[in-house]
Structure 1
Amino acid sequence: MASVFERRIAACRRRLERVDASLVVCFPSPNFTYLTGFEESPSERHLLLFVPQVGDPVVVAPAMYDQQLEALPIDEPTLEVRLWDDADDPVELVDDVLAELLPRADGTHHLADGTAESDVTAAESLTILVDDRLWATFSQDLRACAPDATYGLASTVLEELRIRKDDVELEALRRAGRIADRVSLEIRSRGTDLVGTTEAELADEIDRLLTAEGGGESAFETIVASGPNGARPHHHSGDRKIESGDPIVLDFGAFVAADLDGGTGRYPGDQTRTMVIGEPPDEYERVHDTVLEAQRVAVETVEPGATAGAIDRAARSVIEAAGYGDAFVHRTGHGVGLEVHEPPYIVGDSDRELEPGMVFSVEPGIYLDGRFGVRIEDLVVVTETGAERLNDSPRTWKTGSKHHQ
C-alpha cells in the first residue's frame, strides 16, 4: 500500500498537470513536510525538494542529512536524494537537477539513462512553482539556473491539497483538541487560587500542563491576558498579577505528532476561553453572552457549500446587533493544519466554499479598550452535513466549575 506521502506526491503531480506547470520546488517548510514527512528548519544551506510533473522527485541536500532522507517512506515514485558537502557548489547541483527535470524545447524530458520521454502536457513556456516562503537567495539561484522559466507560487497546487485534512490528520487534531480541553478544565477548577499569579506564571503553568497531558511544544505563544490587557487580542503575557474580579483571556494549544507511516507531521490545538475570578465587572456578562451566541451561530452556519465569508458574517451580525460591532476587530477564524494559521481564512469578503475535511477556528471576540476583552474559540472540522467541534471544554465564564455551557 502506498504511504501517505506517496499519495500526496502523486496528487501534487496531478495538480501540476492541471495547472500546466512543470515543477514545484520546496525548501524546509510545511510544504516540504507535507510531501515527504521530513521536517527541518531553513538555513543558509541548499536543502530543496523538486517535484516534477514528469519524472521522479529529487531532494538536493547537505550530506549531513543522508540518513534521515534515506529513511523517508517514499518508494514509488522513487525519491532520489542528491547530496553535496561543504567542498561542493550546491548551485551546480541545482542546475543539473533543473536541466534533467524541466521539459526540453521539443516537449521531451531527459531520463536518467540518457533517453527521452514524450511529455504529453508540455507547456510552450516552462513554469516553476516555488515555495511561498522560499528565501530570496535560493529563488535567485533558481532564476540563474532557469532564466527563461515563468515563476509562480507552490500554493497554486499545494494549498488545494493541504486544505482538506485526511483521517490521520483529523485524528491528530482531535487529540490536540482533547489535550487543550483537559488543560482548560484544570485551570478553570483552580478558581480563586489564581489570584496573585502573574500572567507569565500562569502561561508557563499552562505550557507545563499541555506537556503533561501528552502534547509537544506549544503551538504558539500562550496568551494570558488579564483585566484591561484582555482588550488586546494578541497580548503578550507579562508581570501583571491576576486580581479578584479580573476577566482573563486564555488562548493556548500544543502540537501533537500524527501517525504518518514513519514521517513527521505535527498538528496544533488552538482554544480560547475567557473566565473571571470572582464577580465579573459591569457589562461583562452581557458581552460574554454576546460572544458565546456569536460563536454558536457561526458554528451552526458551517456546512459544505457555505462560504468562509458567510461564517464571518454570521458571527459579526450577532455582535453588531448587540451594539459591539466596532469592538470586533479581527476575522472570525483561520485554518489550522501543519501551520497554526493557514487557509481557509474565515473573513467577511471570502467566497471560498467550505468542503468536508477543512479545519478552522471560530473565534469571535469583543474588546473594550481599558476595561476587558472576551474571546471564545474552538476548532471545527467541516463534515458532510455540518460541523464537528474539536473542543468541548466549558465555555462559561465561571471558574471553579466543570459544567459545560
Structure 2
Amino acid sequence: MKPPYEDRLEACRLGLERVDADLCVTFPGPNLTYLTGFAESPSERHLLLFVPRAGDPTIVAPEMYAAQLESLPIADLAIETWADDDDPVVLVERVLEDYGLETGRSRTVLLDDRLWETFSQDLRSVLPEASFGLASAVLEDLRVRKDAVELEALRRAGAIADRVSLEIRSRGTDLVGATEAAVAAEIERLLAAEGGGEPAFETVVASGPNGARPHHHTGDREIQHGDPIVLDFGAFVEADLPGGTGRYPGDQTRTIVVGDPPEEYERVHEVVAAAQAAAVEAIEPGVTAGAIDAAAREVVADAGYGDAFVHRTGHGVGLEVHEPPYVVAGNDRELEPGMVFSVEPGVYLEGRFGVRIEDLVVVTEDGAERLNDSPRGWESGDHEP
C-alpha cells in the first residue's frame, strides 16, 4: 500500500494555490502527523514543517530527530536540522530565503492554528512584511474527508467500544456499590484488552444525578440500585499507515439503568433515542451540519425537553476527538462523503438524571453508516431488551 503523505502534501500545495497563499507552516500536532506521518509532542524546540506553494516541503528540526525524519516515506521532503548550540531562527530564515520568501516582499503565510506564540513571533520577525492566516484555511478541507485507511481505523475503534459496552451492560446490578471511578478503570482495562490503545479522552461514568452534567468528571460516588448511568468512552487505535503513524479514536455513549429506572426515565430515554435516529436519518451529502442538529433538536423540543438539551448534537472525529465538522445550529457546512462525526443528543434533568446516546457516523454517497452497533436501549443485564 502506498503511503498517503505525498498525496496529502500535494493537496496542501494545491490548497495554497486555491486560497492564494504562499506557505503553510505546521508544528507537532495533528496537522503535522496528517501531512507526514510523524508524531511528536510540542516542545520549546523549533520543529516546523514548511509546505510552499512552489517547491518541495522542508522540515526544520533538532538534529536528534534526524534518523526518524529520514525514515519517512516522502521522496521530496527536505530535512534541515540544527544543534542545541545553534540558533534555529537562522536556519528558518535560510529556508524561507531559499523559497524566495525573503524580507521585504509581501507574502501570505498560513500558520498551524495551534502554533505556539513563540514560534509565531519568530516567523513574524523573519517575515515582517508578510500577512498571516490559519492553516485550517487549507487543511480543514483535506482532513474533514477521511480516506479508506482512516475509516478502517475508526471502524476498529468503534468495534472495540461496542464490545466493551456489551460487557459493562451485561453486569447489571453487579455494578451496584462500585464507585464511578472503579467502573471507569474497568472500562479502560477492557478497552486495552480488546485491542485499544490509551483512552481517547477522560472516561465518563456519571451515575444518578451526576448524569445531568454533560461533562461530569468521574468521581467516588457509589452506584445505587435504580441509577441511570451515562457511559461515554473510547480508545485510540493505530491506522495501518506504512512508514508513519496516525491514531484514531472511538467515542460512544450509552445510558443504562441498574435495577428499576426512576420515574420519567423511560420517556426521556425514548425521546433521546428518537432524536438520535432522526438526526442519523437526515444525514446525506449536501445537507448542512446545522440541519442535522435541527433534526435532533426538533424531536427533543416537541417532547417538551428543549431547554434540557444543552449542547451541540455532534462533532467531527479524526486525528482529534473534536474537530470539524461541528454539528451545531448555524453551521452551513454541507456534508460530504467521508466526513465522520458524532451524533449525540442528550437530555439533562438537574438533580435527577441525564440521558445521552452517541454513535460515530460516516457520511456515505447516499446517507450514513454508523460506526457503533452496540444496543442503544437502557436495559442492563437485569432487564430484557
Give 1:4-403 correspondences, 5 Å limit: 4-75=4-75, 78-103=76-101, 125-400=106-381
- Distance in 2 separating the partners of 1:303 and 1:368: 32
RMSD over aligned Cα atoms: 1.5
- Distance in 1 separating the partners of 2:180 and 2:71: 43
Aligned residue pair count: 385
- Distance in 2 separating the partners of 1:387 and 1:326: 28
Q: 1:46 to 1:403 in 2, by over 3 A?
A: farther
Question: Which stretches of structure 1, 4 residues or longer, exceed 6 Å deviation after superposition?
Answer: 401-404
Specify the SS of the correspondent of 1:38: coil
Letter in 2 for 1:395: R
Specify the SS of the correspondent of 1:250: strand
Letter in 2 for 1:36: T
- Distance in 2 separating the partners of 1:160 and 1:243: 47
Letter in 1 for 2:82: W
Specify the SS of the correspondent of 2:326: strand
Q: How far is the alpha carbon of 1:104 from its aligned partner?
A: 6.5
Task: Describe the superposition over 1:318-361 as per-residue Cα deviations: whole angstroms up to 9, x where unpaired.
Answer: 00000000000000000000000000000011111000000000
Contact residue 12 and residue 139 of structure 2 kept, 8 A: yes
- Distance in 1 separating the partners of 2:223 and 2:102: 67
Q: 1:356 to 1:135 in 2, by over 3 A?
A: same
Q: 1:401 to 1:53 in 2, by over 3 A?
A: farther
Q: How far is the alpha carbon of 1:403 from its aligned partner?
A: 7.9
- Distance in 1 separating the partners of 2:372 and 2:2: 32
Contact residue 259 and residue 382 of structure 2 kept, 8 A: no
- Distance in 1 separating the partners of 2:336 and 2:383: 33
- Distance in 2 separating the partners of 1:402 and 1:69: 55
- Distance in 2 separating the partners of 1:88 and 1:268: 38
Q: How far is the alpha carbon of 1:203 from its aligned partner?
A: 0.5
- Distance in 2 separating the partners of 1:41 and 1:350: 31
Specify the SS of the correspondent of 1:240: coil
Structure 2: runs of 5+ lacking an equivalent: none
Letter in 1 for 2:113: D
Contact residue 290 and residue 330 of structure 2 kept, 8 A: yes
Contact residue 188 and residue 401 of structure 1 kept, 8 A: no
Task: Describe the superposition over 1:168-199 as per-residue Cα deviations: whole angstroms up to 9, x where unpaired.
Answer: 00000000000000000000001111011100
TM-score (norm 2): 0.98
Contact residue 102 and residue 127 of structure 2 kept, 8 A: no
- Distance in 2 separating the partners of 1:401 and 1:310: 38
Letter in 2 for 1:61: A
**In percent, how many aligned pairs have the same letter?**
73
Q: How far is the alpha carbon of 1:100 from its aligned partner?
A: 1.2
Contact residue 103 and residue 128 of structure 2 kept, 8 A: no
- Distance in 1 separating the partners of 2:9 and 2:51: 8
- Distance in 1 separating the partners of 2:378 and 2:174: 16
Q: How far is the alpha carbon of 1:3 from its aligned partner?
A: 2.6
TM-score (norm 1): 0.93
Contact residue 226 and residue 262 of structure 2 kept, 8 A: yes
Letter in 2 for 1:15: G
